Structure 1
Amino acid sequence: MLYNGSANAGCLVSSDVCNGSSTKKDVSVTPTAISMTVGIVSNTLALFILIKAYRRFRLKPKATFLMFASGLVVTDFLGHLINGSLALYVYASQKAWETFDPHKSLCDFFGVSMAFFGLTPLLLGGLMAVERCIGVTRPLFHVTVRGSHHVGRLLGLTWLLGLLVALLPLLLQRSYQVQRSRSWCFFRLQGPRDWVDVLLTILFSVLGLLALLVSLVCNSVTFLTLLRSRVQLDRDHHRHSRNTSHHSEMVCQLLAIMLVSCVCWGPILITGIIFSLEDPGEDQTSYTHMLLVVRMATWNQILDPWVYILLRKAVLRRLFQVPLRLCSPHSNFRFQWQGSMEASSSVISRPDFICLRGPFLPDTAIQSDDLR
């Protein structure tokens, strides 16, 4: 998670740390403390929901998705905790980097943490989209590779890749840079640079954008496959399976995660590439723009957990019912009850909604055992 505050616009950035002439009257720890608290509470609640759901679907295809989602939430939680604690310490020290970090060791650790917890959630989002795409389009292959040991290896490799990219500047003896707000450290975007500094920033941004592109392509393929399958089932007058319902829930969550990531991280990734190719210098407009995109990126790890909190099947079902009731007046809306016998010999009543003036919306059937 990225943390920043307002800073003196005249702060020079030609060196690794802005000069000490910048005023500190603008130091405010309140926004950082609130953001950290909300993020930790949100991710904790989302993790509790995911763990509870995993216990229910441990032996089902949804379990793999829940393990990846739990890994994403844990990553966001640690990002809030670690980066938030570092930001609070910087604010408590009045942003005097020359005093409390003369050897730049804390700045390097802050920069590694920022890069890791910024890139890894994007990679995990892309990995989740690929997993769901395989599960929908190649279910037999998905069954053979969905074991918990395979999921654990993929999570470990994703975290390792994010950590490698974050440590790459230190391995190449390129320190992270204190940014103009003096409240966080990141790749060297301003001041004296060479081709290695430019390449490191571009690598980070390109990997992030590539993860967003993979998410977009895979989620689109998954959505279209499910839509075509549902249309075929309705055409053949078959009852939709519960697997289709679970797939629809997971796809809705993935689409929401992708949308949040694109809106929150897209601007800063593109800005990083632009600033790498063209040094903005001390221009006030570029500084204001960078401050805006960084603040947008801070919302990614806050909004991610709410995707799992709000976009659950019980909530989605109620949302789908609203347009179904409004899509057609009385005579064009058919409401039928069908009964089905479960293995436990319990009878479940399920309404089938058919909208005659528009496409059939999936997962509108109400089943009492699906409610959470």
Structure 2
Amino acid sequence: MCEGGSTLWFPKMELGNFSGASQLGSCFRRNNISNEIRGHITSPWFSTIFGLIGLCSNLFAFCVLVNSSRKMHSRSRSSFLVFLCGLVVTDFMGLLVTVCIVVPYHFIQFDWRVVDPGCHLCNFMGLAMVFFGQCPLLLGATMAGERFLGIYRPFSRSINMSKRRAWILVSLVWALGFFLGLLPILGLGDYSLQYPNSWCFLTLLHDAKNVAFSLIFALLGIFCVGLSFFLNTFSVVTLCRVYHDSESVQRRRDSEVEMMIQLLGIMVIASACWLPLLIFIVQTALQDFSSANQIPEATEKLLLIYLRVATWNQILDPWVYILFRRAVLQRIYPSIKTRPSIVSLYPVISSSLRRKFTQESVLQ
């Protein structure tokens, strides 16, 4: 998602003056934005540079993750890297798709009524905005759940979770995000052209279908952020509680801490970038406009501002993986040494059970 920083504007659409108005798709609606804002023009190069920085950051992060995955032999860390790779791919493709539409618009100022009278391009972009916006939140919640089980049920998880199963989970998240994006195309609400006519997104009009879809999108995102916060909080508290315990050794401590630091970074960035937009959508959907067919000018402007804030999630996410690695942290803080292990949450496990896992590890 990258509706960049540019606020270029072409003359307000007057559907009644357009010869093909009767054949225009549902994505076109009357805007009540004044033509006076045509004077507020920002260079289209801002959107271009903004998108390129995000694409390069995600591409670099993907290379770092692939290199780390090749050197990683720990199953727990390997499965976690699969989720990180899925998140990077999602962010990269989201930026690529939207940049390919938004940037050309800012440079050539094409008329959507001529280029896309049937709203096919607008529906595609709306689906992409919903899919690539919701999937990082869903993946964040999935990763939080994976780490929660990895800390609370270390033995069962290490046996059951593999790279293949991790990729299956990522694919299921993508499938859920795609299904959510299809809902307006299937009839639950509409995707519509948004101010300043350079991008398409869900419609905040007050009819039942658009309100329902807006609430589904926003509440699902808020639920994912809340679930991530809940699971990560418990995981961090548990990790701190056992960090200095002197009971018997079970697993590597430094890897657990590294994964939790990265996951907390992802959660903080997602919360700061997405919650303002999601809360705004809920508030707007529950408001009572004076006209059910028009969106107030202030609402149009705020939606664009919050969307730009949300876009920073895709720019900042990759730097969590790039910067918060053990190799980088140890250079910044040389006092950090690789710890031999972390204590299991279950120090009362019988010695026979411990011998069983030790023997299985030797046989493998």
Q: TM-score, normalised by structure 1?
A: 0.79
Q: 1:302 aligns with which of 311, 315, 319?
A: 315
Does residue 226 (structure 1) correspond to residue 226 (structure 2)? The answer is no
The alpha-carbon distance between structure 1 residues 98 and 13, as it changes in their structure 2 partners (threshold 3 A), is closer
Q: Describe the superposition over 1:136-159 as per-residue Cα deviations: whole angstroms up to 9, x where unpaired.
A: 111012112212221121111100
Does residue 253 (structure 1) correspond to residue 262 (structure 2)? The answer is yes
The alpha-carbon distance between structure 1 residues 17 and 197, as it changes in their structure 2 partners (threshold 3 A), is same
Between 1:205-214 and 1:145-154, the stretch displaced more is: 145-154
| Matched residue, 1:339 | none
| Matched residue, 2:224 | 211
Equivalent pairs, count? 320
- Cα deviation for residue 173 of structure 1 reads 6.1
- Cα deviation for residue 61 of structure 1 reads 1.5
Corresponding letter in the other structure for 1:89: P
Does residue 106 (structure 1) correspond to residue 121 (structure 2)? The answer is yes
The alpha-carbon distance between structure 1 residues 144 and 242, as it changes in their structure 2 partners (threshold 3 A), is closer
Does residue 273 (structure 1) correspond to residue 282 (structure 2)? The answer is yes
| Matched residue, 2:349 | none
Whole-angstrom CA distance in 1 between matches of 2:29 and 2:111: 10
Whole-angstrom CA distance in 2 between matches of 1:241 and 1:311: 24
- Cα deviation for residue 24 of structure 1 reads 5.6
The alpha-carbon distance between structure 1 residues 243 and 43, as it changes in their structure 2 partners (threshold 3 A), is same
Corresponding letter in the other structure for 2:7: S
Whole-angstrom CA distance in 2 between matches of 1:13 and 1:142: 59
Note the 1:132-143 alignment, pairs <5 A.
Answer: 132-143=147-158
Identity value in percent:
34
Equivalent pair of 2:188/2:209 in contact (CA under 8 Å): no
Note the 1:135-154 alignment, pairs <5 A.
Answer: 135-154=150-169
Corresponding letter in the other structure for 2:322: I
Between 1:279-288 and 1:85-94, the stretch displaced more is: 279-288
| Matched residue, 1:38 | 53
Does residue 287 (structure 1) correspond to residue 296 (structure 2)? The answer is no
Whole-angstrom CA distance in 1 between matches of 2:317 and 2:269: 7
| Matched residue, 2:144 | 129
Does residue 91 (structure 1) correspond to residue 141 (structure 2)? The answer is no
Note the 1:326-341 alignment, pairs <5 A.
Answer: none
Between 1:14-23 and 1:68-77, the stretch displaced more is: 14-23
| Matched residue, 1:16 | 28
- Cα deviation for residue 12 of structure 1 reads 7.8
Does residue 171 (structure 1) correspond to residue 186 (structure 2)? The answer is yes
- Cα deviation for residue 231 of structure 1 reads 2.5
- Cα deviation for residue 44 of structure 1 reads 0.7
Equivalent pair of 1:123/1:158 in contact (CA under 8 Å): yes
The alpha-carbon distance between structure 1 residues 62 and 79, as it changes in their structure 2 partners (threshold 3 A), is same
Equivalent pair of 2:48/2:99 in contact (CA under 8 Å): yes
Task: Identify unmatched segments of 5+ residues in structure 1.
Answer: 322-352, 354-363, 368-372
- Cα deviation for residue 283 of structure 1 reads 3.9
- Cα deviation for residue 195 of structure 1 reads 0.9
Task: Identify unmatched segments of 5+ residues in structure 2.
Answer: 16-26, 340-364
Q: TM-score, normalised by structure 2?
A: 0.81
